[in-house]
Amino acid sequence: MSDTVITVDKLSKLYRIGTAAQRHDSLRELIMSAAAAPLRRLRRLGEASAADAEAFWALKDVSFEVKRGEVLGIIGRNGAGKSTLLKILSRIVEPTEGRVRMRGRVASLLEVGTGFHPELTGRENIYLNGAILGMKKAEIDRKFDEIVAFSEIEKFLDTPVKRYSSGMYVRLAFAVAAHLEPEILICDEVLAVGDAAFQKKCLGKMQEVSRGQGRTVLFVSHNMAAVQSLCGSVVLLRNGVGDYYGPTRLAIERYLAGTSPRGLNTSPGQFDLTRRENPCLPQSLIVHRLTVTDSTGRPTECVGMGQPLTLSIDVRGMSQFRGAQIGVIFKTLTEQWLANFNTGMKPPPVGPRSLAERVILRIPAIPFVPGSYWIDISVAQKGVGRLDYVDRAAPLQVVDHDVYGSGYSPGSGDGVVYLDADWEIVGEQPTATQS
C-alpha cells in the first residue's frame, strides 16, 4: 500500500476577471436559470467575449505529492495562488484542469470561522464539525474534554460562536480540527490571528499530529521561521506556477531571494544597490555599492566557517551628516538578527565626518555555522535616526571548515554560531596514601 496520501497532478484553475457567478435565492430561479442556459451559450458563440481577454490563471500546472506523516509547507507572495490551491484541496472549488487524489478525511482551517454555524454554541459546533468529518458521537465524546482544554474557551463553551472574537474562533477551530483525528490537516495563515503563545501551542500540536500520529499536514504561512521548524519539504508558488518543490531550506532561500529588494548582482560578491527605490532617503545620501571579499581579496558570496571576510561599502554624501554611523547586520533567512557591527561601536581611525565615500569592515573570523544568511546595511545619525537601510543587500553562504583542527565541524544542528574556546581537564589530586 502506497504511503502517498495526496497527489496533485498538473493542477490549474482559471478565473475570469469581471464576471460573477449568478446567485439564485429560490429553487424556482435556479430551475429557470438552468432552462435558459443553452440559449445563453448559443448567444455567446458568435461573440468575441471580453471575458476571454480577462482570463486569469490563479494556478497553472502545479504538481506534487505528499506522504503520510509529512508536513508540507506552501509558501509564496500574496496572490501566488496559495489560497486557491488550498480551496481545491479542501473541495471548496473545482479545478479547471488537472486532478487531485486524496486518501483520508480532510480538516481545513482556511478562514476564521470556516465550518462553524454562527447561531450554534461552541459545544454544538464541536459536534457539528465532528459529524461533517464523518465521526460518530461516541468518538467526539472521547475527544471533547481535550478539545475544550486546548482551546481554553471553557467559560464561553455554551455561548453562540457569533459572539466570539476572531482569536476565540481560531482557538476552537484549530482545537476541533487537530483533535478530531483527520488523516489530512490543512492549515492556512489563519493561525496568525492568535497570540504568540497560542501559535506556539498550535505548532507543537501539528508536530505531534504528524510525527507522533502519522497524520499529514499542509501548512501555509508567511512566517519562514515557523515553516523552517515545522516542514520537511515546501512547495513555492510564484504567480500561480509551482516555482520549486523540495527541501525546506532551499525553498525558503529561493523565496526570500525572489522577494529581496537588493540591487543588481553585477558579479559574484559585488552588488549595485543604486536601483532601490526609497523616497524617504535624503537625495544626497545613499548606500550604492557593496563588495564582499575573502582573505585573498577575491569577491565572493561564499566563505568558510571561521575564515576572514571583508565588506567594502560605498556611500554617497556621507560627509554631509555629522556623526553618521554605518552598520552591518547579519541575519538568518528567517530574519533573526545574529550580529550588528557599526562604526559607533568601534570607531575607525578617521572620524565619520572625514570619511571618504567608502567604509571597510574587516572580520577576522566569521563566527557562523554552515548555512545561508543575509547581510543588511544601515546608515543612522545620532538624534535623527535611520538615514538609509538596505534590507538583504547581499546573501552570504557559510560553508564547512575544520575550525578546531580536529576533523569535527559544527553544523546547523549545533546552533547558529561557534565559539573559539579551549578545554582543560583537571584530574583529581593524589592523596598522601596514593603517592
Specify whether 269 is located in the same domain as 406. yes
Specify whether 129 is located in the same domain as 160. yes
Of 140, 164, 138, nearest to 152 by C-alpha is 164
78 in any annotated domain? yes
Query: What are the helix (H) ranges across 47-134?
Result: 50-53, 82-89, 122-132
Residue range 215-270, pLDDT digits in tens: 898 998 887 777 877 888 999 999 999 988 988 877 877 787 665 544 455 567 88
Contact 12, 60 (CB under 8 A): yes
Which pTM value belongs to this model? 0.61
Of 269, 268, 271, 231, nearest to 251 by C-alpha is 231
428 in any annotated domain? no
pLDDT band with cut points at 50, 70 and 90 for residue 62:
very high
For residue 100, pLDDT over 80 is answered with yes
Specify whether 179 is located in the same domain as 272. no
Specify whether 336 is located in the same domain as 249. no
423 in any annotated domain? no
Comparison of pLDDT for 367 and 167, the residue scoring more: 367
- Side-chain-side CA neighbours of residue 288 (13 Å): 12
40 in any annotated domain? no
Residue range 268-293, pLDDT digits in tens: 788 888 755 555 555 556 788 899 99
Comparison of pLDDT for 123 and 280, the residue scoring more: 123
Residue 403 CA to residue 410 CA, distance in Å, equals 9
User: Which residues, in sequence order, are bridge partners of residue 12?
Assistant: 97
Strand 106-109 relative to strand 184-187: parallel, antiparallel, unpaired? parallel
Name the DSSP letter for residue 417: B
Structural domain containing residue 310? 264-414
Contact 332, 376 (CB under 8 A): no
Specify whether 320 is located in the same domain as 396. yes
Residue 310 CA to residue 303 CA, distance in Å, equals 11
Specify whether 213 is located in the same domain as 329. no
Residue range 182-201, pLDDT digits in tens: 888 888 876 666 666 777 78
- pLDDT at res. 104: 84
* End residue of a domain, out of 230, 258, 286: 258
* End residue of a domain, out of 207, 229, 258: 258
Residue 244 CA to residue 344 CA, distance in Å, equals 42
- pLDDT at res. 354: 47
User: Which residues, in sequence order, are bridge partners of residue 44?
Assistant: none
Region of 81 (left: φ > 0; alpha: ψ -120 to 50; beta: rest) is left
Average pLDDT, the chain: 80
Specify whether 391 is located in the same domain as 283. yes
- The grid coordinates listed for 194 are 492568535
427 in any annotated domain? no
Q: How many domains does the chain have?
A: 2
For residue 51, pLDDT over 50 is answered with no
For residue 351, pLDDT over 60 is answered with no
45 in any annotated domain? no
How many of the other CB atoms lie within 10 Å of CB of 169?
Answer: 24
Of 394, 62, 415, nearest to 261 by C-alpha is 394
* Percent of the chain topping pLDDT 90: 22
- The grid coordinates listed for 266 are 553585477
Specify whether 251 is located in the same domain as 285. no
Specify whether 110 is located in the same domain as 252. yes
362 in any annotated domain? yes
pLDDT band with cut points at 50, 70 and 90 for residue 30:
low
Place of cell 565588506: 311
Specify whether 123 is located in the same domain as 254. yes
270 in any annotated domain? yes
Specify whether 252 is located in the same domain as 105. yes
Residue 144 CA to residue 382 CA, distance in Å, equals 58
Of 65, 73, 392, nearest to 226 by C-alpha is 73
* End residue of a domain, out of 258, 292, 308: 258
Residue range 300-350, pLDDT digits in tens: 888 888 999 999 999 877 667 777 889 999 998 778 899 999 988 888 876
Specify whether 85 is located in the same domain as 210. yes
Tell me, what CATH number does 392's domain have?
2.70.50.60
Tell me, what CATH number does 187's domain have?
3.40.50.300
Of 370, 373, 365, 363, nearest to 415 by C-alpha is 370
Comparison of pLDDT for 88 and 432, the residue scoring more: 88
Residues 6+ apart with CB under 8 A from 368: 305, 330, 338, 398, 416, 417, 418
